[in-house]
Amino acid sequence: MALKGKILRPGDTIALVSPASPVHPDAHVSMEMLELARKRLHDMGFHTVLSPNALKLRGYLAGQDEERAADLMWAFQNPEVHGIVCIQGGYGTPRILPLLDYTTIARHPKVFVGYSDITAIHCAVAKLVGLVTFHGPMAGFDMSKEFDYTKKWFWRAVAQPEPIGLLCNPPEGPVMETICPGRVTAPIIGGNLSLLVTTLGTPYEIDTTGKILLFEDVGEVPYRFDRMLTHLKLAGKLEAAAGFIIAECVDCVPGNTKRPMLTLREIIGDLIEPLGKPAIYGLAAGHGARRLTIPLGVRVTLDATCCAVTVEESGVQA
C-alpha cells in the first residue's frame, strides 16, 4: 500500500515553497498574487507559512539549488507544518532532486501539491519513497485566480477522508473525448510531459508498468510534443502503461507557420491509439484556468468508453 500523508484539517499549517522559479512579476507570480492566495487558504481555515528561502531570486530560479532543496526538507521535517503547496512551477526542480533526503521524506510523509515543473519531484518521490503526492494547484499561480472550482477539488483531495470519486470537468470546458475505448483500474502516475521525459535515464525515471499514465503540456508546438511522446514510446513507457489520461494541453498548436504540421490529435492517434489501451483526452488537469487535484499513486478507474475517471482510493490518511 502506498505511503500517505495525514489529512489536512482547519487549523493546520501549510508551508508554501518555491522549488523552481521565483516570485517575481516577470515569472508569472507577483507578491500581490501570493498574498491573495494566502488569504484564500486562510479563508479555508488553514494557516500558511513561507519557507525560509521562498522569496529568493537568482535569475530564473528561486535561489540557489541548495536553498530550494533545503526549503523542501525544512517543510517535510518541521513538526509544525502539516502540508506543502508549491507557489509555482517554471523551471528548476530537476536540479534539486539529488539534494533531497528521501529517507527523511519517508519518515515524515505529508501532503505535497504542485504540477508542471513540480512533476520532477512527484516522479522522484514516487520512485524512491512511494509517497502519494498531489497533481494540483499551486498557491501563487492558481489560487490567486478564479478559485471556486479549483478550491472544491483541492479540498476534496486533501481535506476529506473519502476517495474523491468521479472527476468532473468544469461546465466551461474542456470537453473530454475518447481516444481508445475500454476500462481499467490501476494506480495513476504522471504529470507534465516535458518533465516526464526529463526523468528518463536517471535514478528518478518514471515507472509506468501497469499504471494509468496522466500527461499534459503547455506551449509546445506539435512536433516537439511528438518528439517527447515518441521518446516515452521508445523508452517502453507507453507499452508498459495500462491506460492513458491526456489532460488538457494548452497552446500546443502550430502557431503562425506555413510549414506542414500534424495536429496534436493526429500525433496522439499515431502514438497512443495503436496500443489499444483505454485512453481519453481533455481532463481538466493541465494548464487551464481551472484544475482538478489528483492524488498520484492511488487506484483510479478509467472508463475511456464513457470518458469517466473515478478516483477509488483516498490520497490521505486520517
**Catalytic residues, which ones?**
116, 216, 287
| Beta-carbon-side half-sphere exposure of residue 262 (alpha carbons within 13 Å) | 14
**Cell digits of residue 290:** 481551472
Minimal CA–CA distance to 8: which of 37, 55, 59, 47? 47
Q: How many CB atoms lie within 10 A of CB 317?
A: 12
The H-or-E segment that residue 188 falls in is strand 183-192
Strand partners, 190: 214
Alpha-carbon gap, residue 269 to 101, rounded angstroms: 40
C-alpha 172, offset from chain centre = 21
Beta pairing class for 133-135 and 212-216: unpaired
Strand partners, 308: 303
